[in-house]
Amino acid sequence: MYRSHVLVCGGTGCTSSGSAQIAEKLKSEIRRQGLEKEVAVVKTGCHGLCALGPIMIVYPEAVFYSMVKPEDIPEIVEEHLLKGRVVERLVYQETVGSDGIKSLKDTDFYRNQHRIALRNCGVINPEDIDEYIGTRGYEALGKVLTEMTPDQVIQTVLDSGLRGRGGAGFPTGMKWKFASGNRGNVQKYVCCNADEGDPGAFMDRSVLEGDPHVVLEAMAIAGYAIGASQGYIYVRAEYPIAVERLKIAIGQAREYGLLGKDIFGSGFDFDIDLRLGAGAFVCGEETALMTSIEGNRGEPRPRPPFPAVKGLFESPTILNNVETYANIPQIILNGAEWFASMGTEKSKGTKVFALGGKINNTGLVEIPMGTTLRTVIEEIGGIPNGKKFKAAQTGGPSGGCIPAEHMDIPIDYDNLLSIGSMMGSGGLIVMDEDNCMVDIAKFFLEFTVDESCGKCTPCRIGTKRMYEILDKITKGQGTLEDLDKLEELAYYIKDNALCGLGQTAPNPVLSTLRYFREEYIAHVVDKKCPAGVCKSLLTYKIDPEKCKGCTLCARNCPAGAITGSVKEVHSIDPAKCVKCGACMEKCRFNAIYKD
């Protein structure tokens, strides 16, 4: 029995900033101090506050150390683990109160969260099946196999109101019901999409890295419900930690008899294999994903027939994403009413968002459906540097930009669709007054152009033409007629593209045209970028009232565009200026500005 447990984040974010070295240094120092029988080091998944990594939490005190460096470890071991004195300089400052260290759940980042899909992330060792079992893991699978019929399982999922967390929000129980016919007589498959290409993929990866067994358990439950004996997890090869932990989890589950033949002595057989993807965005679309699993180029297929009728290897197939599956065991254990009690009338439960952009607390947040955008941005995230919130992009490249006027809208599937955006798999990018919305639309469309599979003309050619128009506008060469053409083309692509990814590709353009049309007009008519982002429309100038003639700007100009003698007002030659911004960055008197 250990008196202290030190949880070190082993998710991708913290690993990339050196948490593996910190864990090894920690173990070494604990041995040096003779504490190896008193203190355990546990490598966990992501804690959510990714901007503060590497992260370390010491229990039972629940002291949250952030931005830990290897050189900090001897002090933490000596002072905290040996002498019981918290190293306050390394503690996440929001947890430090006048009456001592407060709980993480009382901080701004965690206070409004309710963790279901992420409940074990950052809490257990994802490479130890016994720790998952210790949190009631595989209990839901045991319950369905010994106490419930397949139809009862499907009805429970239907009654919960769970909708797919990977895109359009189709009712999960309905999808399972469509595929459930003719059990025992037809080969069927259960697939997991862990390869989504938008920021929501960060959430999927974090669950796979921090709680891989929850996905295995949920897929086995789905297999029992529809009558399938084989599952596939389609995961990006670029996620090495997730892939490795999935391999470990599958091996452990097979060893414990939780995958394979005659699970729980019920006569139910179900196994899972991995299929590695190459990171193609189009493989986030279900038919393209299945085509890729079959060994072919990932391209979407026309629907109908839908995968529930004719999917993987032309057999009935269900496909859900990681977050959807992560909710299933808790719904089975706690009941449909428990899950349905959270959220809004048509969107039940919680939703995980990968919060990024112009925000203080970058990371993963899980909130009840119906939480307002304002709560997420102002209370959980926090906009830095006193900047004014301008827009939030939800749904990744397929989503839209939500302006400040809609900050108080409750976040759910239908509300987001009504204002020109979508839930997607959970990306939420915050933008402030320094973001140009025309440039943002161009950024997302460039991604779509690069990732188009090329199978249908509207997506392959149409998105390219849209990008060219946006590029023309950001260079100051656009016309008002271009705006009409851009909008017309966007609606044509929405109506005629083959798959959901092509149909939603114009959303960033349409939403910015809808809410920020004045910025487009400024680019076209005034040849100005109000946010000062589009280089072709910028001119750098020097304020003669502020310039001290220090020559620092001239010495740092790579193009020799700045002239002036010492202690005399300088000037910038616009013909030579390459608009790199080096002069503005170096000026100590704020004398240089963009016009």
Asked whether the beta carbons of 332 and 322 are under 8 A apart, the reply is no
Rounded to whole angstroms, how far apart are CA atoms 228 and 189? 5
Q: Which CATH superfamily is domain 129-339 in?
A: NADH-ubiquinone oxidoreductase 51kDa subunit (3.40.50.11540)
CA 130 remoteness from chain centre: 28
CATH 3.30.70.20 fits 539-594, yes or no: yes
Encoded tokens for 490: 């966007």
Asked whether the beta carbons of 559 and 509 are under 8 A apart, the reply is no
Encoded tokens for 297: 């180029």
Domain with CATH 1.20.1440.230 in the chain: 437-526
Q: Give which of 586, 585, 583 is closest to 542, Cα–Cα.
A: 583
Residue 178, Ramachandran bin (φ over 0: left; ψ between -120 and 50: alpha; else beta): alpha
Other Cβ atoms closer than 10 A to 46: 28
Q: Give which of 51, 54, 58 is closest to 35, Cα–Cα.
A: 58
Per-residue pLDDT of the chain (595 residues; tens, 9 = 90+): 899 999 999 998 899 999 999 999 999 999 999 999 999 999 999 999 888 989 999 999 999 999 999 999 999 999 999 999 999 999 988 888 767 778 888 888 999 999 999 999 999 999 999 999 999 999 999 999 999 999 999 999 999 999 999 877 899 999 999 999 988 889 999 999 987 655 456 778 899 999 999 999 999 999 999 999 999 999 988 889 999 999 999 999 999 999 999 999 999 999 999 999 887 888 888 999 999 999 999 999 998 999 999 999 999 999 999 999 999 999 999 999 999 999 999 999 999 999 999 999 888 999 999 999 999 999 998 888 888 999 999 988 888 999 999 999 999 999 999 999 988 878 899 999 999 999 999 999 999 999 999 999 999 999 999 999 999 999 999 999 999 999 999 999 999 999 988 999 999 999 999 999 999 999 999 999 999 899 899 889 999 999 999 999 999 999 999 999 999 999 999 889 998 989 999 999 999 998 8
Domain with CATH 3.10.20.600 in the chain: 350-432
Fold of 4-104: Glutaredoxin (3.40.30)
Domain 350-432 sits in CATH at 3.10.20.600
Domain with CATH 3.40.30.10 in the chain: 4-104
User: What is the pLDDT, as a whole number, of residue 197?
Assistant: 55
Other Cβ atoms closer than 10 A to 82: 16
Alpha-carbon distances, residue 453 vs 281, 288, 312, 501 (angstroms): 9, 9, 19, 10
Asked whether the beta carbons of 398 and 372 are under 8 A apart, the reply is no
Rounded to whole angstroms, how far apart are CA atoms 164 and 513? 29
Q: Torsions phi, psi of 39, nearest 5?
A: -125, 125
Alpha-carbon distances, residue 342 vs 184, 311, 384, 429, 587 (angstroms): 35, 32, 31, 24, 53
Domain with CATH 3.40.50.11540 in the chain: 129-339
Rounded to whole angstroms, how far apart are CA atoms 506 and 485? 13
95-126 tens-digit pLDDT: 887 677 788 888 889 999 999 999 999 999 99
Alpha-carbon distances, residue 219 vs 212, 260, 287 (angstroms): 11, 13, 19
Q: What CATH class does 437-526 carry?
A: mainly alpha
Asked whether the beta carbons of 551 and 561 are under 8 A apart, the reply is no
Strands (E), 292-371: 317-321, 350-357, 363-368
Encoded tokens for 282: 């189009």
Q: Give which of 192, 204, 198, 262 is closest to 232, Cα–Cα.
A: 192
Q: Give which of 409, 427, 327 is closest to 370, Cα–Cα.
A: 409
Rounded to whole angstroms, how far apart are CA atoms 545 and 450? 47
Alpha-carbon distances, residue 381 vs 211, 231, 249 (angstroms): 24, 37, 33
Encoded tokens for 162: 């769970």
Rounded to whole angstroms, how far apart are CA atoms 126 and 238? 19
Q: Give which of 186, 192, 142 is closest to 166, Cα–Cα.
A: 192
Angle at 468 between CA 463 and CA 470, to 5 degrees: 95
Q: Which residue has the tokens 């997302």?
A: 444
Alpha-carbon distances, residue 276 vs 198, 200, 425 (angstroms): 17, 18, 20
Helix (H, G, I), strand (E, B), or coil: what is residue 417? helix
Question: How big is the chain, counted in residues?
Answer: 595
Cis peptide before 60 (omega within 30 of 0): yes
468-498 tens-digit pLDDT: 999 999 999 999 999 999 999 999 999 999 9
Rounded to whole angstroms, how far apart are CA atoms 352 and 13? 17
Helix (H, G, I), strand (E, B), or coil: what is residue 230? strand
